[in-house]
């Protein structure tokens, strides 16, 4: 099961969401990551569940998109 478009439209980066209505918009990458368009934090998706913890997004923030693991790994 992939992340639904409705869920993606509702989700926002928890680190940015308080800045404005458009801050924290997320982009789905490789069906395995949600990337914040504001701060570039990257939230992994494990078993079709986005891990929306700020610490987890920050862990991957400075990792290039091409270097993100595709498989469900930690």
29-56, pLDDT tens digit by residue? 999 999 999 999 999 999 889 999 999 9
Predicted local confidence at residue 71, as pLDDT: 59
Where along the chain do its domains lie? Answer: 5-67
Q: 2 falls in which pLDDT band (50, 70, 90)?
A: confident
Res 73 pLDDT > 80: no
How large is the C-alpha radius of gyration of the chain? 11
Res 1 pLDDT > 70: no
Q: What is the pTM of this model?
A: 0.87
| The architecture CATH gives domain 5-67 | Single Sheet (2.20)
| 26-31-35 Cα angle (round to 5) | 25
């Amino acid at each position: 099961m992939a992340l639904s478009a409705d869920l993606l439209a509702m989700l926002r980066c928890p680190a940015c969401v308080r800045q404005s209505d458009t801050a924290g918009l997320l982009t789905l990458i490789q069906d395995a990551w949600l990337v914040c368009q504001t701060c570039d934090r990257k939230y992994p998706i494990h078993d079709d569940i986005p891990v929306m913890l700020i610490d987890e997004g920050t862990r991957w923030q400075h990792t290039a998109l091409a270097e993100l693991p595709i498989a469900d790994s930690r």
